[in-house]
Amino acid sequence: MPEIMLTDWFYWLCIAIYSATIISIIYIILKENRNPVRSLAWITVLFFLPVAGLVLYLFFGRSIKNKALISKRLKKRFAHSRPIKQADIGKLPLTAESRQQIRLGHKLSGAIYFPDNDVECFVSGAELFEAFKRDLMAAQCAIDMQFYIFNDDKLGTEISDILIDRSRNGVKVRIIYDHVGCFGVKKKFFMRMADAGIDIHPFFKVTFPEFATRVNWRNHRKITVIDNRIGYIGGMNVADRYVVGDKNGMWRDTHLRITGPSVLGLLHSFHSDWAFMELPQFDDGENFSEFQSRNNGSVGVQILSSGPVGQWHNISLMFNKAIANAKKCIYLETPYFLPTESLLKALQTAALSKIDVRVLIPRQPDSMMLKLASGSYISDCLRAGIKVYFYEPGMLHSKTIVIDDEFFTTGSTNFDFRSMEYNFECNAFIYSKAINEKMKTAFFADLAQSTRITSSTWRRRPFVQKFKESVVRLMSPVL
């Protein structure tokens, strides 16, 4: 009898501890005053999957908003070295909407708008990486590079060989790769570069006992700065699939090559991540104030970073503002369409206002869960008059928005909760009629290889698919 009573006592003690833990987590979720949709999603997961939900929350649900992104010393250095003086936006040949957008970007992050850049747009991975390798081979002083994925495949090996050669010839090479994004990459691949003198580090290395506090906060940025004069930003990682495709076909993506003063914005983003990782600071002797005098072209560019730290979700707010400013058209490409409530409402409002809103997503994305979640939002779009298309030839990984006749943005940011709230992202916001027209042409070339989804066809999909989409949608804010 005493043994039975002891067992009962232990059982009820475990129940009490577990219940108190769940209640405490729900209290923390509510106390943080998060987006109610996201809070409800976590509470739903905890309710229906109490054990798994608790583990998932510990790994993916906690906030790191209070962590300082940049040290005070680095902030002071950039305050003195960056060209703080913003161009007189009122005197530039921009629309009123573009001026509003630029001022918002500056207010959110201090991002400087530079009107005098040259921008080359790549929609082919093969063409991008040929130019990329040429610029790397010509590097004389420094290469600062970060990617979410840096694979040890044919392309990755070619690029690592170039970097090793440059390092052995006196070029300072610094690399940040995301530890989760590169989980499948052999350690010796990165060690080979380190042994050649390359300063290479994983972002937020996921190891015990810090696994639960780090696995959810990933660096999704794809940035390279060469000799502080040439910058690359966009959606492409270092992987063969961007050049030769995979079993599902070619990967279609967008990337930019920038020369001119706005390269400073890319360099600042890299410096910020380097400081966030608490690595020793470096100084290549570059006088950053000289960036402002580099007039390489006529394209206006503003570089904005965003992440789970800081007061605002910078890129999400910029997207909302750009959509609200639209007068004629909004053309959106994204591999994963899981919009936040505010972004979905913004698109619906635009479409209901008779603005031409078109959303292009892949028919076969690289994640079944994200495919189901994306599908759950299509009915909401069609009901408002948004035109939705499935890209057919392969995987559409491009992350672009073209609005009216002057605005264009691309970078690492997907149109989903994770990019808006969890990941470290970076986008180039471009104000140029020439670039806008060029990317409209690229968008309609993609549409020519796509299938438009009609309301009648979408309503006829199987009940099981609709049910799966509805279930997965509940978890959209935490995917």
Active site positions, annotated: 220, 222, 227, 397, 399, 404
Please state whether beta strands 299-306 and 113-122 pair in parallel, antiparallel, or not at all (unpaired). antiparallel
Among 346, 363, 454, 450, CA closest to 401 = 346
What residues contact 308, with CB distance under 8 A and at least 6 apart?
Answer: 63, 64, 65, 217, 421, 422, 423, 424
- Report DSSP state, residue 41: H
What residues contact 455, with CB distance under 8 A and at least 6 apart?
Answer: 382, 383
HSE-CB at 438 with a 13 A cutoff on CA atoms is 16
Q: How many residues does the chain have?
A: 479
What residues contact 123, with CB distance under 8 A and at least 6 apart?
Answer: 252, 253, 254, 398, 442
Tokens of 89: 């936006």
Q: How far apart are CA 2 and CA 17, in angstroms?
A: 22
Strand, coil or helix: 415: strand
Q: How far apart are CA 157 and CA 321, in angstroms?
A: 41
Place of tokens 């943080």: 32
Got the DSSP string for 253-272?
--EEEEESTTHHHHHHHHHH
Continuous segment of H or E residues that includes residue 306: strand 299-306
Tokens of 244: 């030769």
Could you tell me if 234 and 147 are in contact, meaning their C-beta atoms sit under 8 angstroms apart?
Answer: no
HSE-CB at 297 with a 13 A cutoff on CA atoms is 18
Place of tokens 């495919």: 371
- Diameter of the chain by CA atoms? 88
Strand partners, 38: none
Among 76, 241, 220, CA closest to 155 = 241
Strand, coil or helix: 412: coil
Strand, coil or helix: 297: coil
- CA 156 remoteness from chain centre: 21
Q: How far apart are CA 107 and CA 413, in angstroms?
A: 20
Residue 21 to residues 18, 209, 228, 390: CA-CA distances in angstroms? 5, 20, 50, 44
Among 443, 430, 320, CA closest to 387 = 443
